[in-house]
Amino acid sequence: MKAIIARAFAPLDQLEYGDWPEPEAKGDAVVIEAEAIGVNYPDGLLVQGLYQMKPPTPFVPGMEVAGRVVAIGPKVTGLKVGDRVAALTVVSGYAEKVAVSETMTMKLPDAMSTADACALVCGYGTSHHALKQRGQLRPGETLCVLGAAGATGTAAVQIGKALGAKVIAVASSPEKQRIALEAGADIAIGYDNLKEALKEITGGKGVDVGFDPVGGDAFEVLARAMGWNGRLLVIGFASGAIPKLAVNLTLVKGFSVVGVYWGDFTVKEPQAYAENMRELVAWYLAGKVKPVIEGIYPLADAANILKRVLGRGASGKLILKP
Ligand SMILES: NC(=O)c1ccc[n+]([C@@H]2O[C@H](COP(=O)([O-])OP(=O)(O)OC[C@H]3O[C@@H](n4cnc5c(N)ncnc54)[C@H](OP(=O)(O)O)[C@@H]3O)[C@@H](O)[C@H]2O)c1
């Protein structure tokens, strides 16, 4: 079968589109024939050896797929050949077929497209876990989302609204601010004079929950705009810079900095993860969340698509199709 292969940790240009052995359905695994494969920022870090997890090389990257079950292992109990499913694969997703444990798979309702299903896994899964378990976002609170037109950002905007918050979106261009507003943000602003703008919008009270997938200078600015009892969520560092914070700021302003690692959450708290996914699917069916799919591209173009994502040139969710 065809797949995107990382022969070694190397620049994105060296990703190869070529032949890779077909996966087998062993034990509790099912084999999924992919119709949609989600592109995630961390995929681009992983293949360059810049991610916290490093699989043995060569490997096929890709953490989420949606499609049909084409084979089941002898220990599979809840799925059959032909079922429409989405799965969290961690790696191996950029391929025509992938084998994944049944426990990491969810059946799809007829009304959900495979592209939307991919978006719901990592992008929405991360933002939901961040705002619900880590940020404890409550109705009526103010949520500020940096990188609000990105994959986790658009998800955070919609989940923030679903949880009853007032959502302030921050994005770098008028076009990205428009995307965040269309996703449901109450207000969208740029990074210039961010601290002053957030002070004004919150009536001097400061932000209750900050969502930061960007890092760099924007993190400190958001830290300085946090309100009393606020929770500043560390999601990622798309700007390439891991910020440092003078911790006296948390003391003086009475806010917390809270780390979010969704991948480990799915492993350490599988029941909470499954419950989160059920809630997301219910919100999707009720029309409360609707992924912003930027485009669907051929699997063979994965390297160029990843370059665009890591180069700040994408918005919403990008999908690959074998
Ligand atoms: N903690 C977790 O569990 C978890 C899970 C998934 C992803 N992540 C991490 O979260 C981060 C964002 O992921 P994502 O899927 O939301 O990515 P994304 O769709 O590419 O969005 C990232 C946003 O960051 C902003 N940005 C600022 N400077 C940038 C730069 N130099 N290059 C690229 N983007 C830049 C961009 O918005 P503006 O142009 O508007 O600034 C962009 O829309 C990544 O670091 C990823 O590894 C963490």
Angle, alpha carbons 82-24-98 (nearest 5°): 65
CB atoms within 10 A of CB 41: 22
- Angle between helix 194-201 and helix 217-224 axes, rounded to 10 deg: 30
Question: Using CA positions, which residue lies closest to atom 30 of ligand 1?
Answer: 239
pLDDT at residue 225, as a whole number: 98
* pLDDT, tens only, 178-205: 999 999 999 999 999 999 999 999 999 9
Q: Which ligand 1 atom is nearest residue 129's CA? A: 3
* pLDDT, tens only, 305-316: 999 999 999 999
Q: Which ligand 1 atom is nearest residue 170's CA? A: 40
pTM for the structure as a whole: 0.97
* pLDDT, tens only, 155-167: 999 999 999 999 9
pLDDT at residue 314, as a whole number: 96
What CATH fold (topology level) applies to the domain 2-108+292-321?
Quinone Oxidoreductase; Chain A, domain 1 (3.90.180)
pLDDT at residue 75, as a whole number: 98
pLDDT at residue 81, as a whole number: 98
Q: Where are the domains of the chain?
A: 2-108+292-321, 123-263
* pLDDT, tens only, 135-145: 999 999 999 99
Q: Which ligand 1 atom is nearest residue 238's CA? A: 45
| Burial track 26-37 (b if 16+ CB lie within 10 A, e otherwise) | eebbbbbbbbbb
pLDDT at residue 244, as a whole number: 96
What is the band of 52 on the pLDDT scale with cuts at 50, 70, 90? Answer: confident
* pLDDT, tens only, 121-132: 999 999 999 999
Residue range 123-263 in CATH 3.40.50.720? yes
Going by C-alpha positions, the residue among 249, 197, 201 that lies closest to residue 228 is 249
Q: What lines the ligand 1 site, CB under 6 Å? A: 40-42, 45, 122-123, 126, 147, 149-153, 171-172, 176, 213-214, 235-240, 260-263, 309, 312, 314
Q: Distance from the CA of 214 to the center of ligand 1, in angstroms?
A: 5
Quote the mean pLDDT of the chain: 97
Region 239-246 average pLDDT = 95
* pLDDT, tens only, 37-51: 999 999 999 999 999
- Residue 6 burial (C-beta neighbours within 10 Å; 0-12, 13-18, 19+): buried
pLDDT at residue 260, as a whole number: 98
Going by C-alpha positions, the residue among 217, 205, 222 that lies closest to residue 258 is 222
**Would the pLDDT of 299 be above 90?**
yes
